[in-house]
Copies of this chain bind each other. A is one copy, B any other.
Amino acid sequence: MKVLVLGVDGYLGWPTAMDLANKGHEVWGIDNYLRRDLSRNLDIEPLYSIPNLSERVRIFKDVTNKEITIRIGDLVNWSFISSIFHEFKPDVIIHYAEQPSAPYSMLSREATILTLNNNIQVTANVIFAVRQYSPEAHIIKLGTMGEYGTPNIDIEEGWLEIVHNGRKGKFLFPRQAGSLYHTTKIMDTDLLWFYVRMWDMQVTDLMQGPVYGLLTDESMLDHRLLPIFNYDEVFGTVLNRFLVQAVIGYPLTVYGKGGQTRGYLNIKDTLNCVRLSMENPPGLGKLRIMNQLTETFTVNQLAEMVKAVGDTMGLNVRINHIENPRKEAEEHYYNPKHTGLLELGLEPNFLTNESIHKMLDTIIYYKDNIQKSSIFRNIKW
């Protein structure tokens, strides 16, 4: 299939492009290096430097003999995105091209406006480009479990049958996010659902939890093919941050009580989820929503797991509860359903001591690059 990966430079975009190219698909990848630019501007560079996309493609070709075509540009720019669609006419669009950091989106008015404009306009342009050039193409959009927030009821996969005053209706599951970034993802869903109804598009919305891990079939072939690893407060997820803190002897910083529960998954599972979605399209006029996670943990559980493995490696890990810089529930009900992807054939890779050990090994290898000042930036909301 002809697959267009939007946001191909990102933590998940690059491994996705490699996975699909390696399995024989014709892959084009688009990026504008937004995340690299933001990281550099904030002095929070990744753990190891990442070759640019043209370089990554050359290395990938050397080790697999497979091609990936790269185009650099801003998808907010209609003349750019329309020229891509006009030339490539994709069968599938995998849409990762969003400013992906919740803390970044809360940093300043400018960062908020950048996040709003980028995320909503890219999604709108993707919709218009599909409509014009590939009306039957399947859009696979990466959403986030964060759209649901932490409701006091079971989280279904995207939809909820509501009975009210004796009458019934099926609705998008009510959404209530905890950051501006996550709110833009709600807006994306609003937008896609509208055009699915109006224009009979076919869309899969994957409501993903935080992803961890670095090793995929392709990234293991050459260390220069590893995905981006951010461990800072802005672009790093909680597990990455804990792993790096463990390695440098910095106490694991748990925000508040640490009862915040989220659904997590291994990067290998993300690739499988995206591929399974692609191989099983929903059909025209359908918005299919699946919750993309394999297990849930509290922040305290993650800290304890990292401490347990770190201690066996002689790291002497400490855990420190700090005042929560965010407005969020620190203890709450959390029961998200996630059977859709299992039914398509997903075989989860769970978070094990072994996988934590492997991640710690990689971080120890790059230990000299760790910049302590990146870890805590005191971004409050």
- Is A194 a contact of B177 with CB atoms below 8 Å? yes
Compute how far the CA of A333 lies from the CA of B120 in the bound complex, rounded to whole angstroms.
32
Name A171-197 residues within 8 Å CB distance of B.
171-172, 174-177, 180, 183, 186-187, 190-191, 193-194, 197
**B117 and A121 form a contact (CB under 8 A):** yes
Query: In this complex, which of A116, A128, A164 has the most chain B Cβ atoms within 10 angstroms of its Cβ?
Result: A164
Counting contact residues on chain A (CB < 8 A from B), the size range is 35 or more
Mask for A59-93, Cβ within 8 A of B = 1, else 0? 00000000000000000001000000000000000
Provide the bound-state CA to CA distance between A164 and B164, in Å. Answer: 11
Which of the candidate stretches A19-27, A35-43, A149-157, A212-220 sits at the interface with the other chain?
A149-157
When chains A and B are docked, how far (Å) is the Cα of A171 from the Cα of B113? 26
A93-118 near B? 1/0 per residue, CB < 8 Å:
00000000000000001001100110
Give the chain B neighbours of A154 by CB distance below 8 A: 164-165, 167
**Contact (A327, B174) CB under 8 Å given A164-B154, A169-B152:** no
Q: Are B167 and A327 in contact (CB under 8 A)?
A: no
Contact between B381 and A198 (Cβ–Cβ < 8 Å)? yes
Which residue of B164, B168, B186 is within 8 Å of A160 (Cβ)? B164
Q: Least Cβ distance of A169 to chain B in Å?
A: 4
Contact among B109, B153, B194, B327 for A197, CB-based, below 8 A: B327
* Cβ of A162 under 8 Å from chain B: yes
Would you call A171 and B174 a contact (CB within 8 A)? yes
A190 contacts which of B117, B121, B187 (Cβ < 8 Å)? B187
Chain B residues near A172 (CB-CB < 8 A): 174-176
Q: Is A359 an interface residue (CB 8 A)?
A: no
- In the bound complex, residues from chain B placing their C-beta under 8 Å from that of A162 are 153, 160, 162, 174
Q: Which residue of B lies closest to A327 (CB)?
A: B198
From B113, B165, B168, B183, contact of A194 by CB (8 A): B183
- Write the nearest CB–CB distance from A135 to chain B, whole angstroms: 14
Asked if A124 lies at the interface with its beta carbon under 8 angstroms from chain B, I say yes
A152 to B171, CA, bound (A): 10
Shortest Cβ distance from residue A54 to the other chain B in the assembled complex, whole angstroms: 31
CA distance in complex: A230, B163 (Å)? 40
CB distance from A139 to the nearest CB of B (A): 17
B194 touches A190 (CB 8 A): no
Contacts of A171 in B (CB 8 A): 151, 174, 176
16 A-B contacts (beta carbon < 8 Å): A78-B113, A112-B124, A113-B124, A116-B120, A116-B124, A151-B171, A152-B167, A153-B165, A153-B168, A162-B174, A172-B175, A180-B194, A183-B190, A186-B190, A187-B187, A187-B190
